[in-house]
């Protein structure tokens, strides 16, 4: 029987399953969007039951499309939207509240209180993170504080907390396994990346009982098997990594100094920094890249909250395009932005600004400005935000980056990729398989089960599809960057006033 590896890729707006063969080629894929809930301005939620049902649904669909059965799947790898927080009842398996999504800002004021109390340095030293509503810790506290009876049940050991990976593992094993991997744990603001353990002081600070927490596993190890009845046979769950860590692995950025940027709902740039964590001096995050065969690698990360989501906003909010695929042609219909800049701070500004109160700002409009200029400004904003992060990364690591490996949906947009190379003055390299997030999860699972022998075998599979080289004159580039910086300052000052 021919064997394959399945990646479950549970994202912010959709659940996907992708089945890979031994050469790393995609055999089958299935995807399903699910409901985005916005109960109040700045709040973003998902229904955990819908997350699970959509994920198991696409897994079954991907297998059925090519006539595969459970016996054909050697291992399952899970990759997931990170920081999104679910608390559920250990006995019934039912969530006590909706999943609070990473984009949600409801705990921003509480984070300000923590900063004012002088906790910023302590949190950064332990976790590599800044204090921000983005991370899971304050979301867990909010659920315990606001859901009637939740804190009492948590104190009695009756509730479980997990990021989306933990929720999927719990459901795949019918509650037999409550686990996460070290990459997802490192995004909670509750995990000490030096000791590689949940941090008792941080749990006390946020008033979170340790009994809530999942067991922390390596990114590549068998943490359990699917329960009988989920598939026809029991399949090992053998790889788990947060989406950005999985993409770094899928891009084979396995040596220090290698960098990838994933263009999804948000944009996430990670640089492999090796086996010793560097605490950033430029507002980047230090995070666990992965742990494989007992060896841990760390990464610097810059998070951009709104990237591909800006194109969805052009479609759904403004109605200037009918589908996301139309944005490139509309933006290309004007030669340049004519002084129009869009700062998409819809959920605040991420790295390296970390201004959680900044708001989206459109500047430089004239009577001649059109939908095309706004579309172009929207695309360019993705590239400018990426440059802001890359420059911070170069400063922290003291490395001049020669190449940016890219993946994610927006990398199919050649206009954006060329502008990215121009504005960075660096080669931008698109791989043959841009589904590197799912591929990374598959690789981690396949390594743990012997489907792939070692890292060397996997590394040979990475292939370049297209390289974009910078073409823009230096004077023009500096002028445009200056315009972007002014626009960012406008977005920040608007919030202050």
- pLDDT tens for 94-153 read 999 999 999 899 999 999 999 999 999 999 999 999 898 989 999 999 999 999 999 999
Lowest mean pLDDT among 215-219, 397-401, 482-486: 397-401
Q: Is 486 inside any structural domain?
A: no
Alpha carbon of residue 341 to chain centroid: 25
Looking at residues 320-340, what average pLDDT do you find? Answer: 90
User: What pLDDT band is residue 86 in, cutting at 50, 70 and 90?
Assistant: very high
Which segments are annotated as binding site for ADP? 12, 16, 265, 308, 409, 413
Q: Which of 257-261, 392-396, 440-444 has the highest mean pLDDT?
A: 440-444
Looking at residues 40-52, what average pLDDT do you find? Answer: 94
Looking at residues 454-480, what average pLDDT do you find? Answer: 92
| Residue 330 in tokens | 């509309």
292 Rama sector, left if φ>0, alpha if ψ -120 to 50, beta otherwise = beta
Distance CA 183, CA 435 (A): 19
Q: What is the CATH number of the domain that holds 184?
A: 3.30.420.40
Looking at residues 390-408, what average pLDDT do you find? Answer: 88
Q: Is 231 inside any structural domain?
A: yes
User: What pLDDT band is residue 497 in, cutting at 50, 70 and 90?
Assistant: low
Q: Does residue 320 have a pLDDT over 80?
A: yes
Which segments are annotated as binding site for glycerol? 82-83, 134, 243-244
Q: Is 476 inside any structural domain?
A: no
Distance CA 481, CA 493 (A): 18
Q: Does residue 430 have a pLDDT over 70?
A: yes
8-state DSSP, 473: -
Looking at residues 233-261, what average pLDDT do you find? Answer: 94
Q: Is 232 inside any structural domain?
A: yes
Please give the pLDDT value at position 234.
94
Please give the pLDDT value at position 278.
87
Q: Does residue 299 have a pLDDT over 90?
A: yes
Lowest mean pLDDT among 43-52, 57-66, 296-305: 296-305
Helix axes 164-172, 48-65, angle to 10 degrees: 60
Which segments are annotated as binding site for ATP? 12-14, 265, 308, 312, 409
Average pLDDT, the chain: 93
Q: Is 282 inside any structural domain?
A: no
Distance CA 128, CA 414 (A): 34
Q: Which whole-number Å values give the CA distances from 436 to 181, 328, 357, in the listed order?
A: 19, 23, 32
Looking at residues 428-456, what average pLDDT do you find? Answer: 93
Q: Does residue 188 have a pLDDT over 70?
A: yes
Please give the pLDDT value at position 398.
84
Looking at residues 345-350, what average pLDDT do you find? Answer: 85
Q: Is 208 inside any structural domain?
A: yes
With a pLDDT cut of 70, the percent of the chain lying above it is 100
Structural domain total, the chain: 1
Which segments are annotated as binding site? 12-14, 16, 82-83, 134, 243-244, 265, 308, 312, 409, 413
pTM: 0.87
Contact between residue 34 and residue 13 where contact means Cβ atoms under 8 Å apart:
yes
Residue span of the structural domain in which 29 resides: 4-244
Q: Is 472 inside any structural domain?
A: no
Q: Is 314 inside any structural domain?
A: no
DSSP string, 431-448: ES---HHHHHHHHHHHHH
Please give the pLDDT value at position 279.
87
For 328, the 3-state DSSP assignment is: helix
Q: Does residue 396 have a pLDDT over 90?
A: no
Looking at residues 194-206, what average pLDDT do you find? Answer: 96
Please give the pLDDT value at position 282.
86
Which segments are annotated as binding site for sn-glycerol 3-phosphate? 12, 82-83, 134, 243
């Amino acid at each position: 029987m021919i064997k394959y590896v399945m990646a479950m890729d549970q994202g912010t707006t959709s659940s996907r399953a992708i089945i890979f063969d031994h050469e790393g080629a995609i055999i089958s894929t299935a995807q399903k969007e699910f409901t985005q809930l916005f109960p109040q301005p700045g709040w973003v939620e998902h229904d955990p039951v819908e997350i699970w049902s959509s994920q198991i649904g696409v897994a079954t669909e991907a297998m059925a499309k090519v006539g595969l059965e459970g016996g054909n799947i050697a291992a399952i790898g899970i990759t997931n939207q990170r920081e999104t927080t679910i608390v559920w009842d250990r006995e019934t398996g039912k969530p006590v509240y909706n999943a609070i999504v990473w984009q949600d800002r409801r705990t921003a004021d509480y984070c300000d209180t923590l900063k004012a109390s002088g906790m910023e340095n302590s949190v950064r030293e332990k976790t590599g993170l800044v204090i921000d509503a983005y991370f899971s810790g304050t979301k867990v506290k909010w659920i315990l504080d606001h859901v009637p009876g939740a804190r009492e049940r948590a104190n009695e050991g009756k509730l479980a907390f997990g990021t989306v990976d933990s929720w999927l593992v719990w459901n795949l094993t019918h509650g037999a396994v409550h686990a996460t991997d070290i990459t997802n744990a490192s995004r909670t603001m509750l995990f000490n990346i030096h000791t590689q353990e949940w941090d008792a002081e941080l749990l006390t600070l946020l008033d979170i009982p340790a009994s809530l927490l999942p067991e922390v596993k390596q990114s590549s190890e068998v943490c359990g098997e699917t329960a009988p009845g989920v598939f026809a046979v029991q399949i090992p769950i053998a790889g788990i990594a947060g989406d950005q860590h999985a993409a770094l692995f899928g891009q084979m950025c396995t040596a220090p100094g290698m960098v990838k940027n994933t263009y999804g709902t948000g944009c996430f740039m990670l640089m492999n920094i090796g086996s010793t964590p560097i605490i950033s001096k430029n507002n980047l995050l230090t995070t666990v890249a992965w742990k494989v065969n007992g060896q841990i690698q760390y990464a610097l990360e810059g998070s951009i909250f709104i990237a591909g989501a800006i194109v969805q906003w052009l479609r759904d909010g403004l109605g200037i395009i009918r589908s996301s695929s139309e944005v490139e042609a509309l933006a290309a219909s004007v030669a340049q932005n004519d002084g129009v800049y869009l700062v998409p701070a819809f959920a605040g500004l991420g790295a390296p600004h970390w201004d959680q109160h900044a708001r989206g700002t459109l500047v430089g409009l004239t009577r001649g400005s059109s939908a095309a200029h706004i579309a172009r400004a929207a695309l360019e904003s993705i590239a400018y935000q990426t440059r802001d992060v890359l420059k911070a990364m170069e400063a922290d690591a003291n490395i001049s980056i020669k190449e940016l490996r890219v993946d994610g949906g927006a990398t199919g947009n050649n206009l954006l990729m060329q502008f990215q190379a121009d504005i960075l003055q660096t080669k931008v390299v698109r791989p043959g398989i841009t589904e590197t997030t799912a591929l990374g999860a598959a690789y981690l699972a396949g390594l743990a089960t012997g489907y792939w022998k070692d890292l060397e075998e996997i590394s040979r599979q990475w292939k370049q599809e297209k390289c974009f080289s910078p073409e823009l004159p230096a004077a023009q580039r500096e002028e445009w960057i200056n315009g972007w910086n002014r626009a960012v300052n406008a977005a920040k000052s608007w919030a202050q006033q």
